[in-house]
Structure 1
Amino acid sequence: MAEKDNLKKIGDLLLNNAMYIIIALAVVYITIMRPSFLGIPSIVNILSLTAAKLPIALGIGGCIVLTGTDISAGRVVGLTACISASLLTTVFKVFPDMSNAAPLPLVLLLVIGVGALVGFVNGFSVAKFKLHPFIVTLSTQLIVYGAILMYLMRGVNNGQTLSGLADNYRSFITGTLFSIGGVAVPKYVLYSLILTIIMWIIWNKTTFGKNMFAVGSNEEAANVSGVNVMRTIIMVFMLAGMMYGITGFLDGARIASANANTGLNYECDAIAACVIGGVSFVGGIGRISGIVVGVLLLQIIFTGLNFLAVDANMLYIIKGLIILIACAIDMRKYLVRK
């Protein structure tokens, strides 16, 4: 009987950590096939990609804690990246009357505000009208995408890709923070680290963070215990929107251009990273450290697949499988606990 219990515990351990085991085995295989995968340039590239994708995941993680999601995230990143690129440029196609780039802090505040506005619409619709977050954010995804297309048609741009970004904008984001073995680490790695610390404090050390987890665990119980459920939901979505705005601001300079496809499917990567990192769709469960690990693991596997010259189209299939498997494992853990 004891042996049977031990075998069951080992089986549960393997199943519950199946995603980590698969990724670890994949990394070992990639390293054997391509030893340069663990070289300094590759490691710095992985860290840089992790830093670039982290803010959006930190935002969407809160929505998942509330048993929801936000599939408008990628399009909000695209809109805010286009706004940043159109105002911090040397070629003013969207606003032909401008002659100088706008101040960096002003543009940053603007895109954070745009993200917060979209987040408010999402949160208010979910909290006030009791609509499912998937339906609400699907609607705002389409609305924001339409806004991007209209924005890019302004002035003399005629829907073209925005480029020719101002040097101070690119330097502020992609300038060298320090070097490792002659490989430059960009400044936005530091910015992502700062955002991670801020989000950890918000989630773990504030009343708002405690309320978020309470609402995610049991909305009715939270309401009875005095938590303002509507305000909490709206604030979670607004905070997420602000993180999307920052992601767009970083991405505009990181990619050195912006167009209608900027931010496309970013929400898929973010959701996958959150679920891999232990943020549960069941609600009320999640850690900032888990999200960081999830983003890092995802970038490790995608970078490794690029090293193996895997077809770029195959990455979409792999992303879908990762989300499906991770959600299945998450639900299994929930059912076992229940």
Structure 2
Amino acid sequence: MTQSSTEKPAEKKLSFKFNAQSYALIIALMMIVLIFGILTGGEFLSSRNLSNLFAQMTVIAVLAIGMTLVIVAGHIDLSVGSLAGLTGGIAAILQVWFGWDTVWVVLAAISAGALLGLWQGWWVAYRAVPAFIVTLGGMLIFRGILIGISNGQTVAPLNEGFKIISNSYLPYSVGYLLALVGVVLLFFSAWRNQHKRQQLGLIIEKPIKIYGTLIVYTILILLLTYMLNRYNGIPVPLLIVIFFGGLFIFISNKTSFGRYIYAIGGNEEAAALSGINIKRNTLSVFVLMGALAGVAGVILTSRLNAASVSAGEMYELDAIAACVIGGTSLMGGRGNIVGAIIGALIMASIDNGMSMMNIETFWQSIVKGLILIVAVWIDISSKKQSSVSS
């Protein structure tokens, strides 16, 4: 009786902590939106600006999705900005100079990113070179390759088929249909999860709490769809983020590979003793990160309708900041994809809002730097408190 009574408060405490962290992130985003909405006289919340905001955050969001797994595994990747620039440059060169079709260009860019990620992962996993050094070298190498293959020129313009990747919108009816499908999937997933927990004899949360939260999400989804449809519709790049976000949420939560990554980042020695292949899984993480950098490069080049030698500069820092703001621990073993995407949206909102207020660009860097420092401090403080309480 004594043991069971001490376990229940611990469960409630952990549950409350998780919910508090999740809700704090959403509240922070809503506060940022509200502040910029007031300071810009409502322009920040206009349908046109929201559409532009979601289109702008897609590159960092895609990079942050891959970076989450890298950081959870206990590593870091400083090369993703240069790799996105290089893969975007490869795509532009193949199409503009060699006349390749858009489909093959996209596949070539993603494949190049995966191969270069494989190369970096080999050094980290099989040669035990710290990821910080390998990817720092990769950042310089990839930028140098881009300058070399492009002869320092801006490569443009691209075909219409390539430009529509980042500059097209869904028809209004299709947007509402996808929103309704998403809502149905949310409710079905919640019901299925509760049903499984009941079958396994696990604790089930109160239905009013679960479905009340889902109703709030439903209202937000439909409201956002309505706002975006008031302009040109849902931007296609936003769908790309949702697709890869959903895919990697499934990978991280529902596959053995995802569980292995969290185990490696949490305690590598214990993971090795459990029979997990550390080297192979670490290599796979960098391959996935490289492939997503290729996706980000394609999106960026399509949006700009050009590839330049400066494309993707400093994007690696924005991606890392998005992950940390979203709750990913730089110590490894903890993080989630949804938080990283919200973190990317927060970073994009700060850039967008301050630009609309005509604040000089150096202030944007200062503010984002301070936010990153505070986010890491919060992460370290929470770890100290949890260790003391335990």
TM over 0.5: yes
User: 1:14 and 1:212, CA in 2 relative to 1: closer, same or farther beyond 3 A?
Assistant: closer
Shift of 1:16: 11
Question: In the aligned structure 1, how far is the partner of 2:251 from the partner of 2:28?
Answer: 32
Q: Does 1:30 align with 2:63?
A: no
Shift of 1:118: 1.8
| Partner in structure 2 of residue 84 of structure 1 | 91
Shift of 1:36: 1.4
| Partner in structure 2 of residue 303 of structure 1 | 352
1:162 and 1:259 in contact (8 A); partners too: yes
Question: In the aligned structure 2, how far is the partner of 1:61 from the partner of 1:240?
Answer: 9
Question: In the aligned structure 2, how far is the partner of 1:182 from the partner of 1:37?
Answer: 14
* 1:195-274 map, 5 Å: 195-274=244-323
Residues 17-38 of structure 1: per-residue CA shift (max 9 Å, x gap): 9887766544433222212111
For 1:107, give the aligned amino acid.
V
2:165 and 2:299 in contact (8 A); partners too: no
Q: Does 1:45 align with 2:45?
A: no
Question: In the aligned structure 2, how far is the partner of 1:119 from the partner of 1:173?
Answer: 24
User: 1:317 and 1:113, CA in 2 relative to 1: closer, same or farther beyond 3 A?
Assistant: same
RMSD: 2.1
Shift of 1:265: 0.6
Q: What is the TM-score when the length of structure 2 is the normalising length?
A: 0.75
| Partner in structure 1 of residue 240 of structure 2 | 191
User: 1:191 and 1:29, CA in 2 relative to 1: closer, same or farther beyond 3 A?
Assistant: closer
Q: Does 1:120 align with 2:127?
A: no
Shift of 1:321: 1.5
Q: Residue 148 of structure 2 aligns to a residue in which SS?
A: helix
Question: In the aligned structure 2, how far is the partner of 1:63 from the partner of 1:79?
Answer: 20
Shift >4 Å, 4+ stretches: 13-26
Q: Residue 162 of structure 1 aligns to a residue in which SS?
A: coil
| Partner in structure 2 of residue 73 of structure 1 | 80
Question: In the aligned structure 1, how far is the partner of 2:263 from the partner of 2:109?
Answer: 30
User: 1:16 and 1:45, CA in 2 relative to 1: closer, same or farther beyond 3 A?
Assistant: closer
What are structure 1's unaligned runs of at least 5 residues?
1-12, 93-97, 154-158
Shift of 1:255: 1.0
Of the three residues 342, 349, 353, the one matched with 1:293 is 342
Question: In the aligned structure 2, how far is the partner of 1:332 from the partner of 1:76?
Answer: 33
What are structure 2's unaligned runs of at least 5 residues?
1-18, 173-228
| Partner in structure 2 of residue 330 of structure 1 | 379
Residues 224-278 of structure 1: per-residue CA shift (max 9 Å, x gap): 0000000010000110110000100111111111111000011111111101111
* 1:3-22 map, 5 Å: none
Residues 295-324 of structure 1: per-residue CA shift (max 9 Å, x gap): 112222221111211101221222222221
Question: In the aligned structure 2, how far is the partner of 1:192 from the partner of 1:16?
Answer: 20
Name which of structure 1's ranges 319-328 and 203-212 shifts more when overlaid on structure 2: 319-328
* 1:147-158 map, 5 Å: 147-153=145-151
For 1:199, give the aligned amino acid.
F
Q: Residue 253 of structure 1 aligns to a residue in which SS?
A: helix
Question: In the aligned structure 2, how far is the partner of 1:243 from the partner of 1:116?
Answer: 8
Question: In the aligned structure 1, how far is the partner of 2:126 from the partner of 2:59?
Answer: 33
Of the three residues 145, 158, 161, the one matched with 1:165 is 158
Q: Residue 264 of structure 2 aligns to a residue in which SS?
A: helix
Q: Residue 183 of structure 1 aligns to a residue in which SS?
A: coil
User: 1:48 and 1:16, CA in 2 relative to 1: closer, same or farther beyond 3 A?
Assistant: closer
| Partner in structure 1 of residue 332 of structure 2 | 283
Q: What is the TM-score when the length of structure 1 is the normalising length?
A: 0.86
Q: Residue 164 of structure 1 aligns to a residue in which SS?
A: coil
User: 1:78 and 1:208, CA in 2 relative to 1: closer, same or farther beyond 3 A?
Assistant: same
Question: In the aligned structure 2, how far is the partner of 1:83 from the partner of 1:198?
Answer: 26
Q: Residue 176 of structure 1 aligns to a residue in which SS?
A: coil
For 1:28, give the aligned amino acid.
L
1:16 and 1:329 in contact (8 A); partners too: no
1:115 and 1:245 in contact (8 A); partners too: yes
Q: Residue 185 of structure 1 aligns to a residue in which SS?
A: coil
Question: In the aligned structure 1, how far is the partner of 2:85 from the partner of 2:329?
Answer: 26
Q: Residue 88 of structure 1 aligns to a residue in which SS?
A: helix
For 2:157, give the aligned amino acid.
G
For 1:321, give the aligned amino acid.
L
Shift of 1:188: 2.0
